[in-house]
């Protein structure tokens, strides 16, 4: 399952989970945990891989990648020695419960090398007089193919990366100052002293994180490597990680309702106080407050959190609903800095922005009024206790309200929807196709089962378009594939969806250990136990769902997708579902829709600009080297800024034209779950500002689309209008 960066950050820093405090206190014998986890994988994982030297090599490779993916710290000689020593025996060390000392020794070497790196950076910043006038080029981290051969070669890499960091920071400050002058705001200093201080703080912050790696972290890195050696979606989860997973699929959590971040000097600061959370209700925390220490049980035992990783702070903030969290806070109070100790009660928080919602477009410029709706489903969420929000229930209520509004067509926006509950998808598919098979699943024993719709009759049978992208994955691909195979909807989006055709389950490893003081906190194993197949018998594994109408996207440049994942399970096919009976494909009018969409897209200036951006990005991504000459980089930045500014001004001009036309063409209404019972839906006023609110802090101009919907949603609405017209 995937989610937005904002949601990841929010979940990672909200005090969210109901976990007993005894879980944090008990020690865990992770060698035992590894043995039991291995037995489960051998017996129950879909691939049934032999636990042999080949798998052992995979485990070691993944473990080293989890520490040093960019090849910045280990030497090739060290990596070769690891493989020579452990490739043939790592699996045996797990079976005899002796892998932790080996894993710890590797981490200690990594930790010492990071410490050495910090000292190198500090020395260079103090003694080296950088002129940035050379013609040297640096190989980008993501293009590194081998580890450095020696310490001297490693120091060359460190020096190049340091120079690149300094140049990037100088250019960032220059650009920020330029934009600040235009807006009469405070400028950023690009003086060498301030730049060097910023760079050093960033490296100290990274070292502090590595320095804080403990036994549980080492076990987590290693056991995750063991699981991922079987396939990329199997994983080892700590208790905190499992609770975060539950939050992602339920959109409800227990916490105080704050979003935190760590600044460059290791301070933990309040970035957001969540609306409706306990912190907002109490009013004792404000934006910008520094969290100095935490008392998890509010019993006077304080833990300093300066430089402590946010996931560790997250664990400290765990607790049951109704319990109190102690915080030592420093912030402005009555125009003066003040340190105080406060206690905030943990409560239930619903992430309402991540629930299903809709927008209704009422067109009135051409003939009779036409109503079209866009339903956004961020994930197929469900409540573990069956008492909270469920995607199927919420979408059914939205569909019922849209039927009351007499809409002529609907778009399901499944972009960036990383999946969720398959059962929710079974229900949702039935809302549009009625009864019938939805998906086939095959177990590790080779048994195939068909999962049917859970609805006997469709709720909505009108024109339907589904939007997807390369981040639409897993259960989302089940829904998109079913609607495509039934010829029930026109699928539009990037060249394909993610391509995750596997199903996972999660088990509590504590249940497989002999009862002891450490077994309760053993963690969890998430592993692949089934593959799923379309009702036609083909799989979305690797290939994903290919839209009927393909739009350009960042996926054309990036490397996101199952086909890029290490050790992904292969694509295959099975027999078609016996009871599968599709609708007539002619009802979709695909040739007509494709022809009209191609014509519009060819004439669209913004799409042309976007393709140009993609071409430039692809060239940059594929370029393995970058200049370490400041003036060369400065000229490149100015050239890009000139192009961007020209394009921005052109888009501003078109923005006003399109916004004026939109006001003539349609009226936009909001439909959230809280709006469902209103007599009249709230009207959304046209957006007046051209600046994204979340970009203001970085002083960067960014253009919103008129009425707040994007280029590809605009084209999808045109496709839907064509479909409605063709079916009349």
Using CA atoms of 686, 687, 688, 694 in order, give the dihedral in degrees to the nearest 10: 170
Helix (H, G, I), strand (E, B) or coil at 87: coil
What is the distance between the alpha carbons of residues 381 and 483, in angstroms, rounded to a whole number? 20
Which of 264-278, 471-485, 503-517 is least confident? 503-517
Q: pTM of this prediction?
A: 0.88
Residue 3: band (very low, low, confident or very high) from pLDDT cuts 50, 70, 90 = very low
Question: SS3 for 35?
Answer: helix
pLDDT digits (tens, 9 = 90+) for 220-242: 999 999 999 999 999 999 887 88
- The winner for highest mean pLDDT among 249-253, 303-307, 516-520, 591-595 is 591-595
In the chain, pLDDT over 90 holds for what percent of residues?
A: 63
Residues 236, 255: Cα–Cα separation, whole Å: 24
Q: Please tell me the predicted confidence (pLDDT) of residue 142.
A: 66
Q: How far is CA 176 from CA 261, 695, 698, in A?
A: 21, 12, 7
| Confidence label for 476 from pLDDT (cuts 50, 70 and 90) | very high
Handedness of CA 68, 73, 75, 76 (dihedral sign): positive
Read off the pLDDT of each residue in 65-77 and give the average, rounded to a whole number.
96
Question: Ranked by mean pLDDT, which of 5-19, 177-191, 252-266 comes out on top?
Answer: 252-266
pLDDT tier, 430 (very low <50, low <70, confident <90, very high otherwise): very high
- Give the pLDDT confidence of 106-157 residue by residue, as tens digits: 999 999 999 999 999 999 999 888 889 889 998 876 666 789 999 999 999 9
Helices (H), 4-71: 5-13, 22-25, 30-44, 53-68
C-alpha 716/C-alpha 713 separation (Å) is 5
| CA 394 from centroid of its chain's CA atoms | 23
Among 492, 548, 552, smallest CA distance to 718 is for: 492
Is a pLDDT exceeding 50 seen at residue 2? no
pLDDT digits (tens, 9 = 90+) for 573-588: 999 999 999 999 999 9
pLDDT > 80? residue 209: yes
Q: How, if at all, do strands 409-413 and 464-468 pair?
A: parallel
Mean pLDDT of the 712-717 span: 94
**Residue 437 CB: number of other CB atoms within 10 A?**
23
**What are the tens digits of pLDDT across the range 312-341?**
888 888 888 999 999 999 998 888 899 999
Distance separating alpha carbons of residues 372 and 482, to the nearest angstrom: 22
Question: Rounded to an integer, what distance in angstroms lies between the CA atom of residue 289 and that of residue 260?
Answer: 10
How are the residues of the chain apportioned to helix, strand and coil, as percentages rounded to the nearest 5?
45, 15, 35
Look at residue 365 in the predicted model and tell me its pLDDT.
66
Can you give 698-724 as a three-state secondary structure string? HCCCCCCCHHHCCHHHHHHHHHHHHHH
**Paired sense of beta strands 524-533 and 502-508, if any:** antiparallel
> In this structure, what token pair is assigned to residue 382?
């469900």
Q: Which residues contact 493 (CB under 8 A, 6 or more apart)?
A: 415, 467, 468, 469, 472, 547, 549, 550, 551, 553, 712
- Left, alpha or beta for 46 (phi > 0: left; psi -120 to 50: alpha)? alpha
Average pLDDT on 27-42 reads 90
Comparison of pLDDT for 385 and 167, the residue scoring more? 167
Per-residue model confidence (pLDDT) at position 645: 80
Residue 206 has pLDDT above 80, yes or no: yes
Q: What are phi and psi of 139, to 5 degrees?
A: -80, 130
CA distance 719 to 493: 12
Q: Which of 682, 476, 692, 711 is nearest to 614 (CA)?
A: 711
Highest-confidence segment of 285-299, 361-375, 656-670: 285-299
Query: What is the pLDDT at residue 684?
Result: 87
Say whether pLDDT at 190 is over 80. no
- Which of 414 and 348 is assigned the larger pLDDT? 414
Span 256-272, average pLDDT: 89
Task: Note whether 570 and 541 are within 8 A (CB).
Answer: yes
Using the predicted structure, report yes or no on whether residue 379 has a pLDDT greater than 80: yes
- When the pLDDT of each residue in the chain is averaged and rounded to a whole number, the result is 87
């Amino acid at each position: 399952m995937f989610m937005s960066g904002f949601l990841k950050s929010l979940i990672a820093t909200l005090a969210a989970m109901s976990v007993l405090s005894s879980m944090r206190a008990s020690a865990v014998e992770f060698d035992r945990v590894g043995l039991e986890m291995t037995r489960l994988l051998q017996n129950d994982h879909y691939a049934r891989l032999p636990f042999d030297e080949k798998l052992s090599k995979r485990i070691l490779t993944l473990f080293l990648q989890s520490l040093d993916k960019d090849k910045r710290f280990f030497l090739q000689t060290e990596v070769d020695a690891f493989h020579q020593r452990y490739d043939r025996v790592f699996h045996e060390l797990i079976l005899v419960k002796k892998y932790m000392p080996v894993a710890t020794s590797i981490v200690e070497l990594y930790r010492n090398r990071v410490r050495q790196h910090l000292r190198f950076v500090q020395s260079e910043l103090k003694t080296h007089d950088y002129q940035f006038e050379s013609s040297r080029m640096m190989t980008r981290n993501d293009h590194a193919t081998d580890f450095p051969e020696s310490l001297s070669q490693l120091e060359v890499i460190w020096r190049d990366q340091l120079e690149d960091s300094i140049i990037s920071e100088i250019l960032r400050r220059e650009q920020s100052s330029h934009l600040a002058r235009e807006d009469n705001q405070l400028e950023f200093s690009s003086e060498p002293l301030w730049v060097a201080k910023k760079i050093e703080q960033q490296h100290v912050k990274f070292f502090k994180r590595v320095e804080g790696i403990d036994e549980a972290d080492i076990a987590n890195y290693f056991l995750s490597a063991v699981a991922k050696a079987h396939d990329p979606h199997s994983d080892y989860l700590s208790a905190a990680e499992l609770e975060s997973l539950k939050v992602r699929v339920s959109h409800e959590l227990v916490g105080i309702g704050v979003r935190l971040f760590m600044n460059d000097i290791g301070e933990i600061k309040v970035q957001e106080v969540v609306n409706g959370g306990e912190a907002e209700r109490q009013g004792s925390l404000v934006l910008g407050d520094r969290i100095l220490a935490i008392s998890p049980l509010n019993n006077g035992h304080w833990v300093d959190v300066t430089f402590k990783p946010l996931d560790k702070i997250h664990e400290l903030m765990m607790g049951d609903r109704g319990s109190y969290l102690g915080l030592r806070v420093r912030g402005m109070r009555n125009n003066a800095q003040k340190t105080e100790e406060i206690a905030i009660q943990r409560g239930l928080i619903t992430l309402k922005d991540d629930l299903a919602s809709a927008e209704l477009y009422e067109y009135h410029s051409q003939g009779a009024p036409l109503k079209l709706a866009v339903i956004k489903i961020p994930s197929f969420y469900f409540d573990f206790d069956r008492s909270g929000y469920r995607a199927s229930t919420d979408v059914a209520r939205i569909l019922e309200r849209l039927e009351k509004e007499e809409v002529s067509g609907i778009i399901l926006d499944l972009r960036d929807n990383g999946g969720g509950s398959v059962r929710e998808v079974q229900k949702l598919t039935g809302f549009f196709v009625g009864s019938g098979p939805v998906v086939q699943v095959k177990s590790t024993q080779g048994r195939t089962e068909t999962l049917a719709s859970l609805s006997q009759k469709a709720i909505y049978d009108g024109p339907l378009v589904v939007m997807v992208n390369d981040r639409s994955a897993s259960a989302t691909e089940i829904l998109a594939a079913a609607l495509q195979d039934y010829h029930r909807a026109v699928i539009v989006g990037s060249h394909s969806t993610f391509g995750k055709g596997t199903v996972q389950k999660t088990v509590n490893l504590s249940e497989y250990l002999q009862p002891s003081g450490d077994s309760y906190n053993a963690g969890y194993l998430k592993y692949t136990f089934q593959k799923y197949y379309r009702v036609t018998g083909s799989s979305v594994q690797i290939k994903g769902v290919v839209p009927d109408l393909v739009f350009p996207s960042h996926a054309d440049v990036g490397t996101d997708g199952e086909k890029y994942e290490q050790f992904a399970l292969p694509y295959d096919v099975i027999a078609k579902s016996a009871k599968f009976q599709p609708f007539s494909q002619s009802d979709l009018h695909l040739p007509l829709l494709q022809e009209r969409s191609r014509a519009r897209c060819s004439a669209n200036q913004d799409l042309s600009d976007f393709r140009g951006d993609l071409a430039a990005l692809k060239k940059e991504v594929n370029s393995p080297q970058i200049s370490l000459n400041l003036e060369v980089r400065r000229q490149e930045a100015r050239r890009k800024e000139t192009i961007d500014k020209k394009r921005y001004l052109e888009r501003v001009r078109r923005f006003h034209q399109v916004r004026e036309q939109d006001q003539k063409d349609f009226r936009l209404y909001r439909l959230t779950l809280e709006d469902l019972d209103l007599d009249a839906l709230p009207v959304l006023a046209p957006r007046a500002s051209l600046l994204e609110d979340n970009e203001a802090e970085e002083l960067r101009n960014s253009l919103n689309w008129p009425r707040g919907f994007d280029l590809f949603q605009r084209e999808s609405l045109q496709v839907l209008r064509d479909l409605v017209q063709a079916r009349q």
